[in-house]
Structures are given as C-alpha cells and as structure tokens.
Amino acid sequence: MTTLLEIIMNYPVIFYADDDDDDRLFFKEAAETIPGTVVLFESGIKMVSALELFMPTPSIIFIDLNMPVKSGFEIMKELKDRDDLKNIPVVVLSTASDHYNVKKCRDCGASYYIPKPLSFCKLRHSLEHTLKIDWRKFRPSVDGFMHKHRA
C-alpha cells in the first residue's frame, strides 16, 4: 500500500496564485490530468501566508502578474528574498507578455514565463512541458525563457 508521504514525494505539489476566478478554474481543469496536488490561491498574499504553514513545500509555483494589493512582481521578490523559498521554481503565467514585463520577470527571479493561452489544450501542454523541466539544471537563454505554444 502506498503511503501519503510516498505520494507526496513522487508527485508535484503545485501552487497557483491568480485573482481571476475563471483563470484559476481553467488552470485547475487543465492540471487535472497531471498527477500531483494543485493548490489554488486568489492572491499572492494568501499564497505566501500558506507557504508559512504548508508542508511539504511546493515543487513549483505558478503566478499571475496582474493582481490587486501585491502584484506578481512583488510576490516573486518576496519569495526570492527568503532563503527557505528562493529555490522553488516560479513560473509566471500571464497575459502581459510584452518585452518589458518578460524582462522584468526574469530580473525578479522568475524561472520561466508562459503567456496565458486561450486554449485549454495549449494550457495543458504548457503545464505538462513545464513540469518535465529539470529545474536544478534549467538555465534558459533570454530567448528560451518564454514558453512557445505549439500551433
């Protein structure tokens, strides 16, 4: 019989912070086919609070940029300034995919950038691709930092 600890150790724990209800639901549905645990937050502030309490630490964090009170940029800075959290990959999932915002994400310590797709299949493929990355070795070039959706 598989224990809860074995399940947790073998499957990713995925955190996703986005203030938009529809986007959180879209993410949850796209991630349902991926083994692991998805924990959704309606703000980056609530996600950071949960990180204070949650065990185990998430394998990866997905975050939207445009949120009220604290933006994704501010949340990333908070995460990267903490020794206990700075090594968790942070993947930005946002509609703001202009050069300025993408560069700012990279400068803030984001591990990867995914432009929010409108297609369920594209989001699912993006999540599957991202979860296969070996984050201990992944050091993307400027061009490789932003995910390219399949046609």
The enclosing domain of 29 has a CATH number of 3.40.50.2300
Locate 8 and state its tokens: 């947790």
**In this prediction, what percent of the chain has a pLDDT beyond 70?**
91
Residue-wise pLDDT for 13-25, tens only, equals 999 999 999 999 9
In a domain? residue 88: yes
Q: Give the residue, 142 or 8, on which the prediction is more confident.
A: 142
In a domain? residue 140: no
Residue 95 confidence (pLDDT) above 80: yes
The residues facing 118 across adjacent strands are: none
Per-residue pLDDT, averaged over 69-82, amounts to: 94
Instruction: Give the number of other Cβ atoms within 10 Å of residue 51's Cβ.
Output: 19
Number of domains in the chain: 1
Residue 11 confidence (pLDDT) above 90: no
In a domain? residue 1: no
Structure confidence at residue 96 (pLDDT): 87
Per-residue pLDDT, averaged over 84-107, amounts to: 93
In a domain? residue 4: no
* 6 band by pLDDT with thresholds 50, 70 and 90: low
Q: Is 123 in contact with 95 (CB distance < 8 Å)?
A: no
Per-residue pLDDT, averaged over 41-58, amounts to: 88
Structure confidence at residue 148 (pLDDT): 87
SS3 145: helix
Q: Give the residue, 127 or 56, on which the prediction is more confident.
A: 127
Locate 140 and state its tokens: 């993307």
- H helical segments located in the chain: 4-10, 21-31, 44-53, 72-80, 99-107, 120-132
Tell me, yes or no, if the pTM score tops 0.85.
yes
Structure confidence at residue 151 (pLDDT): 63
Residue 147 confidence (pLDDT) above 60: yes
Phi, psi of 131 (to 5 degrees): -75, -15
Mean per-residue pLDDT of the chain? 89
Domain membership of residue 123 as a residue range: 10-133
In a domain? residue 34: yes
In a domain? residue 75: yes
Q: Tell me the CA end-to-end span of the chain in Å, nearest whole number.
A: 42
In a domain? residue 151: no
In a domain? residue 149: no
Q: Is 64 in contact with 100 (CB distance < 8 Å)?
A: no
